[in-house]
Amino acid sequence: MEDRVYGIFDGGKEGPKLADLCRGLLDEQKTSWPQLSEAYEALGSAKTRLLACNGFSVRLLHNPGRLTSTDAKVDAADISRRPCFLCADRLPHPQKSILYRHEYLILSNPMPVMSGHLTIPHISHRPQTIIANTQTFLALAADLGKEWIILYNGPRCGASAPDHLHFQAIPAGQTPIEHEIGEKRRLVPYGGYQNGISCYRVENLGREVILFEGEEPLSLARALSRHIEVLGQIPRPPADEEPMVNVLCRFQEGKYTVLVFPRSKHRPSVFFRDGDDRIVVSPAVVEMAGIVVTPFQRDFDRLDCATIESIYREVTLGLTL
């Protein structure tokens, strides 16, 4: 196993910066792991198209390599039958990792949505949930710094391994929503938070987005966990599981900005249609942030603003309706 550890980050001041370690890992893996170098080559020729929707933008990304993730079977029976691809002993041999604070492995994502895409699984096989892990989520954002954003997909709304706790990271500044939340006129105070935490609903994005800001990670982590728990009181089955959310965090100049996307369902009805009517779009956190991955060329060509707006309306959970 030891030759599979590229580096160790334990939070100490002496060692290398986490961002530098991650860049080094990605560079090393692109040369030593043929599957990854092929995936990056395919990514280089992936097509993109910008859609100016009503109040917001979406970037379509045609990437056939993402079909496995977009079309992944994620119901409990399917998951229990397949070997877990995030467990350390099942990682492909060329894959190396950075051991993060004794608890997580940082890996290059073998099917990247964009250059620099990282997957960050827990070292042990345990269910995907953020409510008990908001502190780690924020710590990862701070440790990786302003060049990356941290992503979370709930077990029933985008995580392709709902049985194994994991986060992701992508380079900062690549998603449309990161720019849209900078427009102050969109921000409407929400929730009456105190203790240095600001909270807003972000308007005119075609889907529900709750924005938290703060500089003190412990109180912010608690507010986030509580907010997600409260979402579970909005009735919808099954009530015993974590409320459906996607979450994104960036850390800049000492401040955490967290976006919560409350969800009502995982996939839109067009995903389940037959034949030519089927549109293979499976909204996860990257899609909710404004990058819509389309593994099939025909979907990339035909998706329009009305369809995107309808997909967002269908999968979002409106908090004031």
Using CB under 5 A, list all residues that contact Zn ion. Answer: 84, 86-87, 125, 164
Strand order of the sheet with strand 57-62?
A: 47-52, 57-62, 291-294
Q: How far is the CB of 87 from Zn ion (least distance, A)?
A: 3
The burial class, CB within 10 Å (0-12 / 13-18 / 19+), for 320 is exposed
Q: How far is the CB of 32 from Zn ion (least distance, A)?
A: 23
Q: Which is nearer to Zn ion, 87 or 280 (CB)?
A: 87
CA angle 290, 87, 244 (to 5 degrees): 40
Cα–Cα separations (whole angstroms), residue 251 to 22, 172, 200, 217, 275: 16, 10, 17, 11, 43
| Paired residues of 214 in beta bridges | 256
Q: How far is the CB of 84 from Zn ion (least distance, A)?
A: 3
- How many Cβ atoms from other residues are within 10 Å of residue 84's Cβ? 14
Q: Match 């004031």 to its residue by tokens.
A: 320
Minimal CB distance residue for Zn ion: 84
Q: Which is nearer to Zn ion, 98 or 209 (CB)?
A: 98
Q: How far is the CB of 164 from Zn ion (least distance, A)?
A: 4
- Which of the 8 DSSP states describes residue 216? -
Residue-wise burial string across 261-276, b where 16 or more C-beta atoms lie within 10 A, e elsewhere = bbbeebbbebbeeeee
Q: Which is nearer to Zn ion, 39 or 86 (CB)?
A: 86
Q: Which is nearer to Zn ion, 95 or 307 (CB)?
A: 95
Q: How far is the CB of 102 from Zn ion (least distance, A)?
A: 18
Q: Which is nearer to Zn ion, 164 or 227 (CB)?
A: 164
d(CA 170, CA 175): 9
Q: Which is nearer to Zn ion, 161 or 288 (CB)?
A: 161
Q: How far is the CB of 210 from Zn ion (least distance, A)?
A: 30
